[in-house]
Amino acid sequence: MKIAVVYNRESQNVINLFGQPNKEKYGKKAIDRILNALKKGGHQAIALEGDKELIDNLEKFMPKTMKGETPGMVFNLSYGIQGQARYTHVPGILEMVGVPYVGSGPLAHSLCLDKVVAKMILKQHDIPTPDFAVINGPGFEPLDMEFPLIVKPKNEAVSFGIRIVENDAELREAADVIFKEYNQAVLVEQYIDGREINVGILGNVDAEVFVPVELRFGGEGPNIYTHEDKTRKSGRDIKLVCPPDLKKETIARAQDLALRTFSALGCYDCARVDMRLDKDENIYILEVNSLPSLGEHGSYIEGALYLGMDFAALINRLVQEASARYFGTPTPPPAVPAHKSPDELAVNYLMGRRDNIEKRLEEWTSISSRTTDAMAQNSAIEELGKLFAQMGMKANKEFCDERSTWLWETVKGCDEGILLVGHMDVPLNPFISGPVFRKDPEWIYGEGVGTSRAPMVMMEFALRSLRAHRLLRKLPLGVLYYSDEGLDCRYSAKTIAKAMAKAKTIIVLRPGNVPGRIITQRRGQRNYRLSVEGKPRRLGQVLKQPEVLHWFFSKMEKFASISSRKDRIAVSAVEVSTQAMPMLTPHKVIASFLVTYPTTKVADKLEKEMRDILGKKGLRWELVLASDRPPMAKTRKSQQLVREMETIAAKWDIPLESESSLWPSVAGLAPKDAQVLCGIGPVATDLYTSQEAVHRISLVQRTLLLAEYLARQINRK
């Protein structure tokens, strides 16, 4: 499990320094001991400051989980940075963002910190606690209490400001110190002259109560545990004795009172109850520490040791107790029980490898392969070939032209099987600087990360999940990659169509659309090149033949009028250039424009209309079809594939909707009788820009979706 140890030590990373600052701190040595203990227990652990960056840091370490995925957890050591009820700050944040954590919640922490409210609750539950009074400010009336008394801040822990006073003058002096230093009310308690014990509690239902640990103060100094004693600055040697020399009945009564106190204040997982015994061994509850110290010299650690739990065992037991409270089991349930069905085995492989998936995505994104960079593409294809070789897949030479297409197959081939199709090239202008790989809590950014790299990594880990259980070789599967997406598949289209013709099911590894859509229908797209040429002329010269630019723009205006949203037709110029002689107006215009269309029949009709608009008279022109990307039709067979994907998505609460798209893809090259699905890749946004990004949770979700679909096809007739 991923566990973030959240603490407060040095950071003052807040918007403003405001309110009472925290004086409680965990030492680096103690934090490292806890981290090492968690790692020893098999957890992936890091340490984070509980400051204003906490939510972002947690999201980076433990992104949003999927259904069935083991969630991360916080091991809370945070005392807070500043302000009131500081123990509640981090738990409150964790409650808000939905992160499980070890230890009590905000309510229990606030009750335990407010010693007056805690004592009132104890009295309501007939739990003995010393008599007390509250002083709200200087100039108070004499108290109707017998000296000696204990004076302490109303809302502090770890013995801050605690002092024994013997008379009214000492009381007023001690109270003034608290008013000035802690800026809060003063709690005055009847001093119980006797022995002091601490009782630790571990767990929730049927919580385990530790044997009391006695604090022996020696002959010097006050007979109380001061802050200087806890921080080992007093010079005294405070001895911890476990078990104490007490009657069995007294020990049992102390344990019972500790458990009742723990329950009355609503604590979770762990706490330490501090008590005093008078000369007759009557027990009085002093206070409850809902965040007991896990320092190596603490009484809570001593109590656990007596029960046979070393430090590592105690730390991991705390995680187990919190897991039981949140998930109903000592440890969070595995993503998938260890059944034998192929789809469950594949999914189980993926659940624990989110970090590996994102790391692999970073590796692939660092490998440049822009459309115009042939050398970089060859290097990337070589890397991909090594990957398939490791998985026992072989290149099918019939479909590998070593220029634009490569096909790898399992031992069963992909005849009447499944063909996955993706592109290696990143269609970016070679003169534009690409985005640097980076992550934020929701998105991963990088060059080609959505269009090419994330679908590739999705495919890789889906296949790895099958191979890990020797299932890949049982699947009739091919993976085809091409390298001229940025050239409208000018060189690869025929080979892709040929490979698709032999497969039964075709899945195109294009990115999904926000928020979680796959593509079942795409328009076709034709790229035309229009060349118009007239006579050169001087500026202002009048000729019978129209001016080239004027003629061109008049025709473009008529082209644009063909566009129809209703008929799913669009015509638009995308690039225009001119040629002119010195001191003369342009005599030649060269333009590229795109036409999107629903069917080939409509496209042919559009081309005829455009040629009619250009006409036979006037200027010389030439209209050339530079590329044609056929539309992807929505078919009944494809809808069957969509329904199967929707079933898997519903099982894992993966968002999945179908839509049609204006953009073409190689899915349009598939035979009419094939099952075809496009946009199965992770959800991406801002494609072909410097802000191209893929949704982090979608990277895992779509990998799981593809893996389970492929696994379900094994041995299917």
Chain centre to alpha carbon of residue 41: 23
Q: Tell me whether residue 172 is in a domain.
A: no
Q: What is the pLDDT of residues 50-92, one digit of tens each?
A: 888 999 899 888 877 777 666 789 999 998 887 777 889 999 9
Among the three residues 299, 327, 355, which one is the final residue of a domain in this structure?
327
Q: Tell me whether residue 160 is in a domain.
A: no
Pairing of strands 44-49, 2-7: parallel
CATH number for 673: 3.40.630.10
**Mean per-residue pLDDT over the chain, rounded:** 90
Q: What is the pLDDT of residues 513-522, one digit of tens each?
A: 999 999 999 9
Beta partners for residue 527, in sequence order: 594, 627
- Do 531 and 448 sit in the same domain of this protein? no
CATH number for 69: 3.40.50
* 347: confidence class by pLDDT, cuts 50, 70, 90: confident
Q: What is the pTM of this model?
A: 0.74
Residue type (1 letter), 648: I
- Do 215 and 314 sit in the same domain of this protein? yes
Q: Tell me whether residue 179 is in a domain.
A: no
Decide if pLDDT at 579 tops 80.
yes
* 403: confidence class by pLDDT, cuts 50, 70, 90: confident
- Do 400 and 516 sit in the same domain of this protein? yes
- Do 640 and 698 sit in the same domain of this protein? yes
Structural domain span for residue 677: 342-522+632-713
Among the three residues 327, 358, 381, which one is the final residue of a domain in this structure?
327
Angle between helices 115-124 and 248-264 (to 10 degrees): 110
Phi, psi of 387 (to 5 degrees): -60, -50
In the chain, % helix, strand, coil (3-state, to 5) comes to 35, 25, 40
CATH number for 322: 3.30.470.20
**In this structure, are residues 623 and 589 in contact, taking their beta carbons and an 8 Å threshold?**
no
Q: Give the residue, 465 or 231, on which the prediction is more confident.
A: 465
**What pLDDT shows up at residue 175?**
92
Q: Tell me whether residue 275 is in a domain.
A: yes
pLDDT more than 70, % of the chain:
94
Q: What is the pLDDT of residues 444-494, one digit of tens each?
A: 999 999 999 999 999 999 999 999 989 999 999 999 999 999 999 999 999
- Do 427 and 552 sit in the same domain of this protein? no
- Do 232 and 309 sit in the same domain of this protein? yes
- Do 549 and 686 sit in the same domain of this protein? no
Which residues contact residue 276 at a Cβ distance below 8 angstroms, ignoring those fewer than 6 apart? 130, 192, 194, 195, 196, 197, 283, 284, 286
Residue 532 vs residues 106, 551, 592, 619: alpha-carbon distances, Å: 75, 9, 12, 7
**What pLDDT shows up at residue 334?**
44
CATH number for 590: 3.30.70.360
**Which tokens sit at 107?**
């309510």
Decide if pLDDT at 234 tops 80.
no
- Do 349 and 475 sit in the same domain of this protein? yes
**What pLDDT shows up at residue 329?**
61
Q: Tell me whether residue 704 is in a domain.
A: yes
**In this structure, are residues 85 and 109 in contact, taking their beta carbons and an 8 Å threshold?**
yes
- How many separate domains does the chain show? 4
- Do 618 and 637 sit in the same domain of this protein? no
Q: Give the residue, 23 or 660, on which the prediction is more confident.
A: 660
**In this structure, are residues 12 and 81 in contact, taking their beta carbons and an 8 Å threshold?**
yes
Beta partners for residue 164, in sequence order: 150
**What pLDDT shows up at residue 16?**
66
Decide if pLDDT at 335 tops 60.
no
Q: What is the pLDDT of residues 148-168, one digit of tens each?
A: 999 988 886 656 778 889 999
Q: Tell me whether residue 144 is in a domain.
A: no
Decide if pLDDT at 372 tops 80.
yes
Decide if pLDDT at 244 tops 60.
yes
- Do 605 and 665 sit in the same domain of this protein? no
Q: Tell me whether residue 264 is in a domain.
A: yes
- Do 218 and 364 sit in the same domain of this protein? no
- Summarize the confidence of residues 34-42 as an average pLDDT: 93
Q: Tell me whether residue 369 is in a domain.
A: yes
**In this structure, are residues 267 and 282 in contact, taking their beta carbons and an 8 Å threshold?**
no
What SS3 class is residue 629?
strand
Among the three residues 629, 655, 686, which one is the final residue of a domain in this structure?
629
pLDDT more than 90, % of the chain:
73
* 228: confidence class by pLDDT, cuts 50, 70, 90: low
Pairing of strands 477-482, 418-423: parallel
- Do 373 and 498 sit in the same domain of this protein? yes
